[in-house]
Amino acid sequence: MPELRKDPITGRWVIISTERGKRPSDFSREEVEIKGNGFCPFCYGNEAKTPPEILAYRANGGDPNTSGWTVRVVPNKFPALGIEGRLDRQGEGLFDKMNGIGAHEVIVETPEHNKNLADLSEKGIEDVLWAFRDRMLDLKKDRRFRYVLVFKNHGRAAGASLEHTHSQLIALPIVPKEILEQLNGARQYYEYKERCIYCDVIRQELESGTRVIAENEDFVTLSPYAPRFPFETWILPREHESVFENSPTHAFENLAKALKLLLTKTDQVLENPAFNLVLQSAPLQEPSSDYYHWHIEYMPRLTKVAGFEWGSGFYINPTPPEEAAKFLREAEVANPVHA
Amino acid sequence: MPELRKDPITGRWVIISTERGKRPSDFSREEVEIKGNGFCPFCYGNEAKTPPEILAYRANGGDPNTSGWTVRVVPNKFPALGIEGRLDRQGEGLFDKMNGIGAHEVIVETPEHNKNLADLSEKGIEDVLWAFRDRMLDLKKDRRFRYVLVFKNHGRAAGASLEHTHSQLIALPIVPKEILEQLNGARQYYEYKERCIYCDVIRQELESGTRVIAENEDFVTLSPYAPRFPFETWILPREHESVFENSPTHAFENLAKALKLLLTKTDQVLENPAFNLVLQSAPLQEPSSDYYHWHIEYMPRLTKVAGFEWGSGFYINPTPPEEAAKFLREAEVANPVHA
């Protein structure tokens, strides 16, 4: 018998279709491969082919827009939003619009074309996380922006157009709908219980253990109770904090470990799947809150989203999260935390 | 300058990325083709290979589960939900679940394997619409069900696994999130204005004309102001009605005309794209309301939904709806309404 489950934060129901029960090998999909042919604007020597860099880490110094960097942030050459101008909110009869003001940046995670994020050292991944933080702190100063969404598209099926490993961020003049729903759900729970719902979820999940994939000193990696997608996975900080960029130094180190472990395990169990990764943090202009809890969501692209999902906002997930968690928990990866 | 636009009903913002401004030929995608090789359970003679039929139209009579039908409805062989049992709502600590009770049916739109929905005669399409209605009226009698979502996945990129043209419906014990958002938005507007927001949208769109694609006696076909996807199109009844299955007879005839015209135009302009079609109607157990307005949403699959969309609930649409409407409005189709 399939099960209907409700995400306790957003109230979104999903269908966990246990009878279709898909194992990792049941999904037909393209494996993501690095082909490495053709010109790449993110490789050393091609720094002039991107817009001028916004940030770069260079351990041994060196001029901007030259080689020698380890992580490099540049404006997206084809930005979804424009950085210059005023919001100019206006109506058009019963419709509402404003200028598409925002920032759209690319975080090149390594100069090495033949590496994926999972292949970087823990220190390499940590640097990428520091770059996210540095950019968020900087963009926060622009009072037009209410939210920065950091995300990663890996593989064509996940929407990536360039194969050289990179993340992106978009700063928005509006708090996006998905975050508003999480904030509202978490706030309502807090008003009722005076506890953070994510903290309660973590506590319950650690007690039951069936959906836990991994843990370290600072982070818990788990399959959520009502995942939209097969093998959807969340990484949550144990310590309550609503704002990613306010995290302590050791959190960056341990998040890098948790992320490397998850990506290594999913690459093994799901055979290098295309995936999306999103950082969910509180809105920019708000102080840390007691009710929201920042986290990372990992979504491999194994199934197609179709008419039912678009028309209902419901999701049909053919893999129960307990099974997904078991596969990932039991995947043995060679010395993953020190690779 | 890109534009941020808000859907007046759900409050969902989208980014209309005018500078990327994509024309129909700019999208890379697979054209949907009927290959016709291999066994097909939806062809004449294979009636025994599906679960026993629930409904079939047979102009010249004939036994159930034999050939001779024009439209045939069968249970989905791999249903997402099960029809037997009780909902049995229960908690699991702070989580909520219930049994996956529901109906999942397939509407085979024609016995002809080599035809798409757009290729059927207007009468043929009208029969499909009558089948939707008949099934909704029947499923409504089951008081466990709160909603029936009718949808169509056309082409692999849209999630279709069988190429023989068909639609599906899923009856749910819950009103889905997407519909709740539409209902809430429309109710709020009604409380404020005492008018249906969809009726107001139709009035404004017909006056301005820039987003109108086609109209007939009963229906208006238009590009919505804040579409999630390039070439997303809505078909709305001119006459206010919240419940699809309460529509008058002439509406079925004219909806078939509007749908055939839209699909013929999009097949021409977008070169037989994969698409999803969803019927958005009011919840089952409610009488017709003054504030909601049933309609059809057509979404060709031209772009990939990626991390930004999943993390934000925002959509980046590279084709302004005014341009999409112009392409579709001006597409000349050979005698479409009498094909």
* Mean predicted confidence (pLDDT) in A236-251: 97
pLDDT digits (tens, 9 = 90+) for A289-311: 999 999 999 999 999 899 999 99
Q: Is B100 on the interface with A (CB under 8 A)?
A: yes
3-state secondary structure of A128: helix
**Burial state string for B214-250 with b = 16 or more CB within 10 A and e = fewer than 16:** bbbebbbbbbbbbbbbbbbbbbbbbebbbbbbbbeee
Q: Describe chain A by its helix, strand, coil percentages, rounded to 5.
A: 30, 20, 50
Residues 6+ apart with CB under 8 A from A280: A178, A179, A182, A294, A295, A296, A297, B311
Domain count, chain B: 1
| Tokens of residue A256, six digits | 């890098």
Tell if the CB–CB gap between A12 and B177 is shorter than 8 Å.
yes
Q: Rounded to two decimals, what is the model's pTM? A: 0.95
- The answer to whether residues B134 and B55 touch, using CB atoms and an 8 Å cutoff, is yes
Strand order through the sheet with A90-92: A90-92, A95-99, B3-6, B13-16, B315-317
Mutation to test the A interface, candidates B229, B312, B319, B322, most A Cβ within 10 Å: B312
Query: How many helices and strands (H and E) does chain A possess?
Result: 6, 15
Neighbours of B194 (CB within 10 A): 9
What's residue A266's pLDDT? 97
Residues 212-251 of B with CB under 8 A from A: 225-226
Q: Is A34 on the interface with B (CB under 8 A)?
A: no
Given a cut of 70, whether residue A263 has pLDDT beyond it is yes
Tell me which residue range forms the domain holding A331.
Answer: 3-338
Tell if the CB–CB gap between B173 and A93 is shorter than 8 Å.
no
Residues 6-25 of B with CB under 8 A from A: 6, 8, 11-13, 15-20
Q: What's the gap in Å between the CA of A88 and the closest CA on chain B?
A: 10
Cβ-based contacts of A75 with chain B (< 8 Å): none
H or E segment to which residue A162 belongs: none
What's residue A321's pLDDT? 96
What's A163's domain CATH number?
3.30.428.10
Given a cut of 70, whether residue A120 has pLDDT beyond it is yes
What's residue B256's pLDDT? 98
Task: Tell me the ipTM for this assembly.
Answer: 0.93
Instruction: Tell me how many residue pairs between chain A and chain B have CB atoms under 8 A apart.
Output: 228
Beta strands in chain A (DSSP E): 3-6, 13-16, 55-57, 71-75, 90-92, 95-99, 103-108, 147-154, 166-172, 212-215, 219-222, 233-237, 275-280, 295-300, 315-317
Tell if the CB–CB gap between A176 and B13 is shorter than 8 Å.
yes
Tell if the CB–CB gap between B307 and A16 is shorter than 8 Å.
no
Which amino acid, B51? Answer: P
Low-confidence ranges of chain B (pLDDT < 70): 19-21, 335-339
Q: What percent of chain A has pLDDT over 90?
A: 88
CA-CA distance, A31 to A28, in Å (whole number)?
A: 9
Nearest-by-Cβ selection for B277 from A179, A305, A307? A307
Chain A residue closest to B304 (CA)? A159
Mutation to test the B interface, candidates A175, A225, A304, A317, most B Cβ within 10 Å: A304
What's residue B20's pLDDT? 61
Strand order through the sheet with B219-222: B55-57, B71-75, B103-108, B166-172, B147-154, B275-280, B295-300, B233-237, B219-222, B212-215
Question: Pick the catalytic residue: A166, A240, A293, A295?
Answer: A166
B35 by Cβ neighbours in 10 Å (0-12 / 13-18 / 19+) ranks as: exposed
Given a cut of 60, whether residue A245 has pLDDT beyond it is yes
Given a cut of 70, whether residue A20 has pLDDT beyond it is no
CA-CA distance, B34 to A279, in Å (whole number)?
A: 41
Which amino acid, A172? Answer: L
Given a cut of 80, whether residue A218 has pLDDT beyond it is yes
User: Secondary structure of A266-332 in the HEC alphabet?
Assistant: HHHHCCCCCEEEEEECCCCCCCCCCCCCCEEEEEECCCCCCHHHHHHCCEEECCCHHHHHHHHHHCC
**Parallel, antiparallel, or unpaired for β A13-16 and A315-317?**
parallel
What's residue A338's pLDDT? 42
Tell if the CB–CB gap between A278 and B151 is shorter than 8 Å.
no
